[in-house]
């Protein structure tokens, strides 16, 4: 009996020894890691608040519970220093932010991060002189507009500015830019608490970036024109409000805003689709459905290969990883709009294909602009061997439908877009 149990006893003993060793290592290394982090923070105090005197670390941050990103605060005679921890491509994105007694940022510094591309350092000092009312997201040098590094830096800076106002006893608007935008959509229509969705545009709208709808056609719609939201009811422009205006103050639309909004409303209201039978046209199998508007635009539903990481390796294709999207294209070959309707891409990388900033990079693009990027040439012509795609989309890459670091998503999405353009070319040639 003992002989039978011996392997189990040995294995258990080994596990216990390893666990004890790891615990021992942690006991010795954890204080050292904390010591180094504290040393970096202390060293950064005078870097982000030069000339600061009388630094005192606040013992209680209970007053700042609304700002979980703020982990430490130092008060000085010349202002405050905030330590924030947010998440970019990875956890642990740590900033030190100095704010003077007038509420202006003096300097910022990233003291620790686990970012993929190491671009966070280019943002140090870029927010200097910003206040809670003027701060806006800055894109790191070499990064794409959808950079999670840039977003993490901004999140830390905004949290510090809002926390500063709270400490000074000011009424602080803690809404995110996204929440302000959503609130102002309601302001523009005179509604309250309504949820808006962006209309998938099947018509080119001159001067209007987007149309937003509620669940009721009786509410009207809101047009995004430049930095303004203009409410339109029964075809008539009503009110205008700054898209990110924290006060929500309304004005009458300008003459140009009124013209653009009402013309766009007419095009939006008149748009209708007729499905085209595609089975006999010889299109690729990734073309699922083709429709045409009365004005001659095409709306094409596509599917393309997706991928995700699991247990250290890539999985490609299949219902759970495929990317489904719909794209509208003008007869002369310009993308009007695009929306990803289903995808299972890798979190923080490939899933950018379902984000607004990704769509924005594609709107207005031509087939040539996507083809010229060269990423589509990585796709094997007649092969299921996806391992041949080994080139990584660099962090500095920009252009239509480019996701930095997400090679497979970028390549296959772009290839599917090219296939959609080919549908338009073929149908236009047959007219």
Give the pLDDT confidence of 250-280 residue by residue, as tens digits: 999 999 999 999 999 999 999 999 998 765 5
To the nearest 10°, the Cα dihedral for 52, 54, 58, 64?
-40
Same domain membership, residue 248 and residue 142? no
Tell me the mean pLDDT in the region 368-380. 75
Same domain membership, residue 183 and residue 159? no
Same domain membership, residue 408 and residue 310? yes
Decide if 43 is inside a domain: no
Same domain membership, residue 235 and residue 356? no
Run of H or E residues at 329 = strand 323-329
Decide if 19 is inside a domain: no
Same domain membership, residue 184 and residue 95? no
Question: Contact, 329 vs 424, CB < 8 A?
Answer: yes
Which of 218, 252, 270 lies at the terminal end of a domain, its last residue? 270
Name the pTM for this structure: 0.77
Q: What pLDDT digit, counting tens, does each position of 174-190 carry?
A: 888 899 999 999 999 99
Decide if 125 is inside a domain: yes
Which of 270, 302, 318 lies at the terminal end of a domain, its last residue? 270
**Strand ranges (DSSP E) for 33-92?**
56-57, 70-76, 79-86
Tell me the mean pLDDT in the region 277-292. 81
Tell me the mean pLDDT in the region 236-257. 96
Decide if 51 is inside a domain: no
Tell me the mean pLDDT in the region 102-121. 92
Residue 257 DSSP SS3:
helix
Share of the chain above pLDDT 70, in %: 81
Q: What pLDDT digit, counting tens, does each position of 390-421 carry?
A: 456 766 677 899 887 788 888 889 999 999 99
pLDDT at 305: 85
Tell me the mean pLDDT in the region 367-396. 66
Q: What pLDDT digit, counting tens, does each position of 188-218 carry?
A: 999 999 999 999 999 999 999 999 999 999 9
Same domain membership, residue 212 and residue 186? yes
Same domain membership, residue 201 and residue 217? yes
Decide if 355 is inside a domain: yes
pLDDT at 33: 45
Q: What pLDDT digit, counting tens, does each position of 166-175 carry?
A: 999 998 998 8
Same domain membership, residue 278 and residue 240? no
218-to-213, 215, 234, 259, 272 alpha-carbon distances in Å: 10, 9, 8, 21, 19
Same domain membership, residue 253 and residue 339? no
Domain count, the chain: 3
Decide if 11 is inside a domain: no
Question: Contact, 333 vs 367, CB < 8 A?
Answer: yes
Same domain membership, residue 295 and residue 423? yes
Same domain membership, residue 420 and residue 283? yes
Decide if 35 is inside a domain: no
Q: What pLDDT digit, counting tens, does each position of 58-89 carry?
A: 999 999 999 999 999 999 999 999 999 999 98
327-to-201, 216, 312 alpha-carbon distances in Å: 9, 25, 33
Which of 167, 191, 221 lies at the terminal end of a domain, its last residue? 167
Same domain membership, residue 348 and residue 242? no
Show the domain range for 144. 56-167
Decide if 29 is inside a domain: no
């Amino acid at each position: 009996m003992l002989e039978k149990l011996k392997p189990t006893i040995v294995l258990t003993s080994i596990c216990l020894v390893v666990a004890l060793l790891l615990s021992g290592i942690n006991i010795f290394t954890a204080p050292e890691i904390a010591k180094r982090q504290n040393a970096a923070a202390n060293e950064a105090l005078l870097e982000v608040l030069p000339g600061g005197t009388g630094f005192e670390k606040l013992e209680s941050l209970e007053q700042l519970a609304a700002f979980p990103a703020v982990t430490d605060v130092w008060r000085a005679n010349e202002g405050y220093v905030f330590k924030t921890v947010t998440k970019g491509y990875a956890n642990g994105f740590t900033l030190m932010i100095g704010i003077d007694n007038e509420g202006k940022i003096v300097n910022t510094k990233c003291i620790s991060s686990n970012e993929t591309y190491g671009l966070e350092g280019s943002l140090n000092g870029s927010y200097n002189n910003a206040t809670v009312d003027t701060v806006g997201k800055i894109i790191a040098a070499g990064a794409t507009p959808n950079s999670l590094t840039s977003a993490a830096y901004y999140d830390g800076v905004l949290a510090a500015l809002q926390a500063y106002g709270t400490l000074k006893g000011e009424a602080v608007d803690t809404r995110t830019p996204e929440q302000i935008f959503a609130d102002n959509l309601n302001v523009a229509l005179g509604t309250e608490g309504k949820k808006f969705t962006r209309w998938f545009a099947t018509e080119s709208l001159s001067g209007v970036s987007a149309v937003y709808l509620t669940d009721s056609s009786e509410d009207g719609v809101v047009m995004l024109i430049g930095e303004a939201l203009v409410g339109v009811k029964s075809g008539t422009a009503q009110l205008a409000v700054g898209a990110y205006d924290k006060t929500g103050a309304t004005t009458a639309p300008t003459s140009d805003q009124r013209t653009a909004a009402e013309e766009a409303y007419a095009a939006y209201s008149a748009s209708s689709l007729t499905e085209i039978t595609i089975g006999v046209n010889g299109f690729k199998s990734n073309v699922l459905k083709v429709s045409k508007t009365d004005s001659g635009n095409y709306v094409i539903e596509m599917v393309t290969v997706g991928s995700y990481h699991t247990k250290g390796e890539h999985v490609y294709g299949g219902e759970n990883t495929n990317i489904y999207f719909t794209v509208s294209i003008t007869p002369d070959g310009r993308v009007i709009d695009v929306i990803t309707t289903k995808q299972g891409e890798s979190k923080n990388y490939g899933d950018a294909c379902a984000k607004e900033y990704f769509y924005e990079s594609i709107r207005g693009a031509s087939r040539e602009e996507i083809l010229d990027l060269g990423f589509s040439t990585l796709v094997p012509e007649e092969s299921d061997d996806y391992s041949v795609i080994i080139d990584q989309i660099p962090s500095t890459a920009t252009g239509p439908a480019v996701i930095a670091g997400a090679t497979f998503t970028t390549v296959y999405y772009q290839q599917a877009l090219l296939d959609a353009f080919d549908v338009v070319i073929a149908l236009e040639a047959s007219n």
